[in-house]
Structure 1
């Protein structure tokens, strides 16, 4: 169940960040141009914003994900990234814990309720939370890599990112445990472990090798 996986992802994230010190917070994440402080601030801000989505939906209200939209979101990340490690840890823990409490309030009949995040519903919002926590935990570059991603998460993420395959391309990702295909046209076959193929498709560094021709992917949906 996705809710259990969200709790597990949150536990892994908070455990990894528990010993964060100031020097480590200033260090590079796996995302170009972002420190670990940027990543932690983004996760915390996302968690607060998604909490508003959940609580609003349960109250019958539609609320914008971020006040001020994407520009305000980006400004908040930049302004919060250089805080002390203690402040970053506190913000992250409070925001993620509060979000989990909100998700735990959702009943089986509530999942179709609409939210403004991606003009979707609570069920899709839970999957978005799963993606954000799981991917950005590895983005922290603190020893946990995409090799920790479960097969079910990899296949979910690949399906979510289907719009990244360029037009006119039939992309085939082949691993020892699964084969995933997308698009039509010239066939491009890449081979590797499922976690490496998924990390590549998500625009992340791959811990292991991938064989096959180079392919320029489209932006995230």
Structure 2
């Protein structure tokens, strides 16, 4: 397994570019009727999800632009209320306007992240008080997860394996400390135990993409197999996103 702590920022940037190209290729199929259909996220249409991708892509690209100048700026002018209002307003656009806006945001993201060099990844950013590399990882997560959320032809079962490993690492804080849990991929070397090593654990097993989808709160292609002491049990409840 390649841990995200060792995945070079340049490799993350290349993976993000691949994800952006994938989304660009899916946009021409959008229709005015289709963007009003439900997404994977409760209460949001496809248009809401794509409007959010546009906004978060621009926000994180702005983090990169300012960081490279040695400056800090909030991801969104006006904070979360302004972010929510922009998503609602953007979701009212027709398919052509929405597609054009997402393409423009992806172009800005590509240009902003391409400007970063090997010595830049530790530059501080305001986003979660992290650095440029952590902001790039956030964009990778947002891009891949929400492309799947939009239900436009890319699902969690299509997520790259490197992304799945990153999600299983990044989202491990969703596992309650008091829950002895073992996650085991049936198609990968990934296996990890959490919680009290001496207590009977719930074992959640399945393909790597299904484990990542489950931990991310998304619908796996097939529900993971959950057992305690060999007997089937319901999937355990997870904590909020980090």
TM-score (norm 2): 0.88
Instruction: State the Cα distance separating 1:143 from its structure 2 match.
Output: 2.6
Runs of 4+ in 1 over 2 A off after TM superposition: 178-183
Deviation digits for residues 2-21 of structure 1 (CA, Å, limit 9, x no counterpart): 11101000011111122211
- d(CA) in 2 for partners of 1:59, 1:183: 41
After superposition, residues 42-191 of structure 1 pair within 5 angstroms as 42-176=52-186, 177-185=188-196, 186=199, 187-191=201-205
1:18 aligned counterpart, secondary structure: helix
- d(CA) in 2 for partners of 1:203, 1:178: 22
Q: 1:217 aligned to 2:228?
A: no
Q: Which moved more, 1:114-123 or 1:137-146?
A: 137-146
Uncovered stretches (5+) of structure 1, i.e. residues with no partner: none
Deviation digits for residues 96-135 of structure 1 (CA, Å, limit 9, x no counterpart): 1111111001011011000011110111111111111111
Equivalent pairs, count: 221
- d(CA) in 1 for partners of 2:85, 2:123: 30
1:114 touches 1:120 (CA, 8 Å); kept in 2?
Answer: yes
TM-score (norm 1): 0.96
Look up the match of 2:21.
Answer: 11
Uncovered stretches (5+) of structure 2, i.e. residues with no partner: 1-10, 227-232
Q: Alpha carbon RMSD of aligned pairs, Å?
A: 1.2
1:172 touches 1:179 (CA, 8 Å); kept in 2?
Answer: no
